Amino acid sequence: MKTTVKRITDRFPHLRDSAARQQMLVRNAVGSAQVEGIRPDEARLREAVVKTTDRPAPHS
């Protein structure tokens, strides 16, 4: 069976909401920084994530 975007979002409904995805990315970045011993700036990370995830996907 061919995988479609609809089927993926049906299986993982949290991926539909870009705000939830952005929060997850920020949490992951903060956690990774803390593991590396870096003091993360959550505001800058959140701003960077929003800028990069709001872009339209490039066409292949």
Reduced DSSP (H G I as helix, E B as strand, rest coil) percent helix, strand, coil of the chain, to 5: 65, 0, 35
Amino acid 60: pLDDT: 42
Domain ranges of the chain: 1-52
Instruction: Note the pLDDT tens digit of each residue in 4-39.
Output: 556 666 777 766 667 777 888 888 889 999 999 999
CA distance 60 to 30: 31
- Give Cβ neighbours of residue 16 (< 8 Å, ≥ 6 apart): 9
**What is the average per-residue pLDDT within 37-53?**
86
Measuring CA to CA, which residue among 21, 16, 19 is closest to residue 6? 16
Amino acid 8: pLDDT: 63
Write the Ramachandran bin of 37: left for phi over 0, alpha for psi from -120 to 50, otherwise beta.
left
Amino acid 39: pLDDT: 92
